[in-house]
């Protein structure tokens, strides 16, 4: 839903309208995942993304 610029080395940059595979949902509201475009992985705020149907 929203772009996100990483603040730390382990964070993943999010780009609007790109697809990400979520591998873990953390209790603090952050997700771990991978960009389907670049293959890069990291953590990102879960409220910046929304699930899509397959």
User: What is the DSSP code (8-state) at residue 49?
Assistant: -
If you search the block for the tokens 């730390």, which residue do you land on? 8
pLDDT digits (tens, 9 = 90+) for 8-37: 999 999 999 899 999 999 999 999 999 999
CA geometry: angle at 11 spanning 7 and 17, to 5°?
A: 100
Token output for 34 = 């991978």
pTM score above 0.95: no
Query: For 1-48, which CATH superfamily applies?
Result: SH3 Domains (2.30.30.40)
**DSSP string of 14-27?**
B-TT--EEEEEE-T
Per-residue confidence (pLDDT) for residue 1, from 0 to 100: 83
């Amino acid at each position: 839903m929203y772009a996100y610029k990483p603040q730390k080395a382990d964070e993943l940059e999010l780009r609007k309208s790109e697809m990400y595979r979520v591998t873990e949902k953390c209790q603090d509201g952050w997700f771990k995942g991978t960009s389907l475009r670049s293959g890069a992985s990291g953590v990102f705020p879960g409220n910046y993304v929304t699930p899509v149907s397959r």
